Amino acid sequence: MDAPDALSVRPEEDDVQSPATNEKLACFRCRQRKIKCDRSTPCAHCVKVGVECSYASGPKPRERRQRVMVSNTYDSKLDSISRKIDQLSQQMSQLSHETHRPGASILPENQDQFSSSSSFGITPSSSSAISTPNTGVLEHPITNDSQGKDPNNSSKGEYEGESSLFAHAVFASRFLQNFINNSQNPDVSRDMEAALEGLRSAVHSGNQQFDTLDKVYSHARTISPGSSIRNLPLPLIEKVFACLRMAKDCPQVATLWLGHFMKPSQFHDYFIKIVSPGPASEADLIIVHCGLYWLFCECSRAVSGQEAMKDYDAQASLCQANLETVLVNFHFHHPTTMDLAYAMGFASMYCLQKSKISAAWSFLSFAAHTIHALGLQHHKLPMSPEGPEDKERRRDMFWTIYSAEKTLSLRLGRASNFRDQDITLARPVQSRPGDAFLAVLAPAWVSMASIQGQIYDEIYSPGALMQPAHVRTSRARALAEELKVLMQRAQQVHEQYTASKGHILGLDYHEIARRSDRVMGLCFLTLIYRSITPEEPSTSEFCDECIGYARDTLQEHERCVGVINKSQGKPVFLETYINWYIIRSPFIPFIIIFCYVVETSQASDLKHLGALVETLDSISNSHAQSTFSKQRSLFRALYDVACKYIEVKSRENSTGQVEIPWSAVQQEYATGFAGTASAAIGLGSIVPSAVVQNVPMAVSSHAHSGSMMVEDVGHRDRPELLAMVDPLSLHNPGIGDVDMEMDPSGAQLWDWFNKNQSIMRMLEDT
C-alpha cells in the first residue's frame, strides 16, 4: 500500500508525527553577534567573556496543510450548514402548515408494518417538473384556523343558479307565510307559530357553518416531515388480489365496482405501477386509492361472513383515508394527460358519493378542462392515432364525465362546461350481445343528461329567462315531450334486459334500477312544468301538469322504496337510491305537493309527503344519517308544518270562517309589488315578507345589491310573521344584472330559481 500523502495527513495525526524538535537554537548573544554557537549551556563564547548565556524557546511546529475538498473540516461545515437549513425549513413549514385537528394520525416513519411487498419508498411525482414538489407537509393543511370567521372567505358565498331543492323550500315557506298572514282568524298564526319556528330552523340549519377542509376530507391524514403521499400504506397484496378475483367472478361486484367508467384491466395497470418501485403521479395515486376503496366496499357487501365483512370494511377505511390524503395535497398544475382526466373523474364520483357537491363540481370542471385540452370530445384525436379498444375506453370515460357534469350543472344552476355543439364523439350505441347492465343503460343516461343541460339552457338560464313567456313555454313543452319519449324507451330497455339477463344481478336489483330511473325522469318533468304559468283563470300557483307529475313522482318513490325494503340488500340499495336520486337531483316534487296542500287545505296528499320523510328516517347507517341530516330535517319540518296547517284550517272551517280563495291572495300579492323588477312568481320568492291584507308596503331598492327590502308596517310587533329567510343571506349578485331586461314572468322564474341555489348552499357540508 502506498504511503499516505504528506499533505493529506489529518490534523489529529500532526501532533504525533510532528513533535517539537529537540535541537537547541543559538543563544541570544551568539545570534546577535552572528557567530557560531556551540549550543552548550553556557556556550563557550559566553564563558569566555563571562556573561549570562540564555536561549529562546523552540519555534512552534508548522501545521500540515490539507487538500481542498478532502478536508474533514470542510465536510463538517457543509454538514452543519445542511442540518441548519433542514431545521429552518421544518420550522418554517410548521409555522405555516402545522395542523391542530384532533385525532389526526401521523404516518409512521417505518411503513413495513402496514404493507408487505406493496410498501414503497419516497419517490418524486412524475409531475414534479411542473407542479410544486411535495415536501411531505400538507400543502393544503387541515387546520382549525381554516374554519375562519369571515363568511366572505367561505365557499358558501359561491354563485349558484336557480334549480336546487332549498330555494323551493324558501318559496314554500313564504307561500305558507302568505296564507297565514291572510287568514281572517288570528288564532291561525298563533297556533302555527311553533311549527313555523321549526321550519325556519330547518331552512337556516346550514347557515352558521362555513366550509373547512377537515369537513370535506375528514378522513385525511397529516403527512409527517420527510414523508410524502407516495409513502401511504396500501392493503396487503394478497387481500387486493382476492378482491380482484372476486370482481371477476361475482357479477354484482363486477357491475358495480367501476361501472362503465374504466375497464378492470386498466385499473390493474395502475395498481401495478403504484406497488412497484418508481415514480407515480398524483393522478395514479387517486385512481388506485379510489378504485381500491370502491372494490373493498363492494366486496364487503357481497360476502356473507361477519369476519370477512369487517376485514373488507377496515381495508376500505384505509383506502378512503389514503384517497382523502392525496386529494387534500393535490396540486393545481399537472401535465395534461388521460391519467389526469381519469383521476378527476374518480375524485368527482367519490365526492358525489359522499354528497360533497361543491368539491365534486370542482373536480368535474377540472376534468372538463383536461378533456378539452386533449380534444377527447372529438371523433378523432388531433394529436395521435388510437386503436379501436383505446377509442372505446375514451368514449366510456368521456360520456360518464359528461353525464355527471350535466346533472350537477342543473343541480347547482350553473352553465355546463360541455356544449353539445362542440362534441363530435359518437354517443354510446344501443346494447350489443354480452354488454354489461350499465353499458346497456348508458345510451339512455347520456340522453337524459343532455336533456338536463337543455332544461337549464332553454328554461332556467338568464338568457332563456329574458325571452318572452310564450317562447319559454313552447320550449318547455317540447322538452317535456322529448323526455317522455326517452323515459318510455328507457323503461323498454330495462324490461328487455330483465327478461333476458335478470337472473345475473337478481330481479330485485333490476326492479329498483327501473323504478329509480322513472323517479328521476318524473322529477325532471316536474321541474320542466314548474316553469309553465297556469292558464287563466287559475285556482293554483302551478299548472295541472306540474302538480300531476309531482304527485306521480312521490307515488313512484313509494313503490321503489317498497321494492327496496323487500330486497336482501336493503340498507345498501336504500342509501344509494337516496344519494343518487333524491339528494343529487333537485327533488322539487315534495315542495310542489307541500304548496298544493297549503293551497287546497286537503289532507289527501299528506301521506305522500310523510312517506318520503319516513324513508329518510329509516336510514340506519350513522355516516349516511349525517350525510342526509339537513335534507331530512328540512323535509320533516315542511311535513310537520303542513300537518299543523291542515289541523288548524280544519278547526277554522268547522267554526264557519270564510277562507280567502287563492286567486284573491295571488291578486293582492301581485298588486302590492306590481311594477317592480323582482315581482315574484305567485307568492313572492324575493321579498322577505308580504302581509297583503290591506297593509301598506314601503319598498326601497338597494342600488348596489339589486335586492328588494320590504318593511312590514302592519306587523312590526309580530316577529313570527316576518321573513322565513333574511333576503341578504339569499342575495345573488346576478339578479340585478338581468331583472330589468326580463318580462315579469321571466323575472319571477329567475328569482325563484336563484333562491333555490342560495338555500341549497346552506345545506352543503362542503
- pLDDT higher than threshold 90 for residue 347: yes
For residue range 397-426, what is the model confidence (pLDDT) as tens digits? 999 999 999 998 888 888 899 998 989 988
- Identify which of 293, 264, 394, 299 has the alpha carbon closest to the alpha carbon of residue 338: 394
**Backbone torsions φ then ψ of 123, nearest 5 degrees:** -125, 130
The 10s digit of each residue's pLDDT in 575-585 is: 788 877 877 77
pLDDT of residue 125: 36
Q: What's the one-letter identity of residue 118? A: S
Predicted pLDDT at 152: 42
Mean pLDDT, to the nearest integer, of 204-212?
48
**pTM (2 decimals)?**
0.68
CA 474 centroid distance within chain: 36
Separation of alpha carbons 510 and 519, rounded Å: 14
pLDDT reading at 524 higher than 50 = yes
Residue 688: pLDDT band by 50, 70, 90 thresholds? very low
**What average pLDDT score do residues 254-276 get?**
88
Q: Which of 422, 329, 328, 323 is nearest to 371 (CA)?
A: 422
Position 671 scores a pLDDT of 37
pLDDT at 17: 44
| Ramachandran angles phi, psi of 381, nearest 5° | -70, 135
Cβ neighbours around 107 below 10 Å, total: 19
Lowest average pLDDT, out of 59-73, 165-179, 640-654, 735-749, goes to 735-749
120: pLDDT confidence band, cut at 50, 70 and 90?
very low
Tell me which range, 94-98, 273-277, 711-715, 725-729, is most confidently predicted by mean pLDDT. 273-277
**Nearest Cα residue to 644 out of 274, 180, 305, 206:** 180
Q: What pLDDT does residue 287 have?
A: 95
Over the stretch 426-437, which tens digit does the pLDDT of each residue have?
888 766 666 778
With pLDDT > 70 as the criterion, what percentage of the chain qualifies? 61
Instruction: Tell me the β-bridge partners of 700.
Output: 709
> In which band, very low, low, confident or very high, does the pLDDT at 224 lie, cut at 50, 70 and 90?
confident
Which is it for the CA torsion 587, 589, 594, 596, positive or negative? positive
d(CA 257, CA 391): 22
Decide if pLDDT at 247 tops 80.
yes
Instruction: Give the mean pLDDT of the chain.
Output: 72
Residue 701: which H helix or E strand, with range? strand 697-701
Angle 759-761-762 from CA coordinates, rounded to 5° = 70
Q: Does residue 546 or residue 617 have the better pLDDT?
A: 546
Q: Yes or no: say if 679 and 673 are a contact pair by the CB < 8 Å rule.
A: yes
- Between helix 622-654 and helix 165-181 the angle, nearest 10°, is 20
The answer on pLDDT for 104 being more than 60 is no
Position 209 pLDDT exceeds 70: no
Summarize the confidence of residues 223-248 as an average pLDDT. 88
440 closest CA partner among 483, 504, 390: 504
Q: How confident is the model at residue 730 (pLDDT cuts 50, 70, 90)?
A: very low
**Mean local confidence (pLDDT), 149-173:** 50
pLDDT reported for residue 326: 93
Q: What is the pLDDT of residue 249?
A: 86
Percent of the chain at pLDDT above 90?
20
Q: In this structure, how many other beta carbons lie within 10 angstroms of the beta carbon of residue 702?
A: 13
Per-residue pLDDT tens over the stretch 456-487: 999 988 888 888 888 999 999 999 999 999 99
More confident residue, 608 or 115: 608
Residue tagged 504525533 (cell numbers): 16
Q: Which has the minimum average pLDDT: 216-230, 320-334, 542-556?
A: 216-230
* Confidence label for 229 from pLDDT (cuts 50, 70 and 90): confident
Determine contact, residues 636/202, Cβ cutoff 8 Å: yes
pLDDT(613) > 90: no
What is the model's pLDDT at position 153?
Answer: 44
For 501-511, the pLDDT digits (tens) are 878 888 888 88
pLDDT greater than 90 at residue 291: yes
Q: How far apart are CA 217 and CA 502, in angstroms?
A: 38
Q: Contact, 541 vs 472, CB < 8 A?
A: no
Closest CA to 731 of 172, 157, 149, 210: 157
Residue 156: is its pLDDT beyond 60? Answer: no
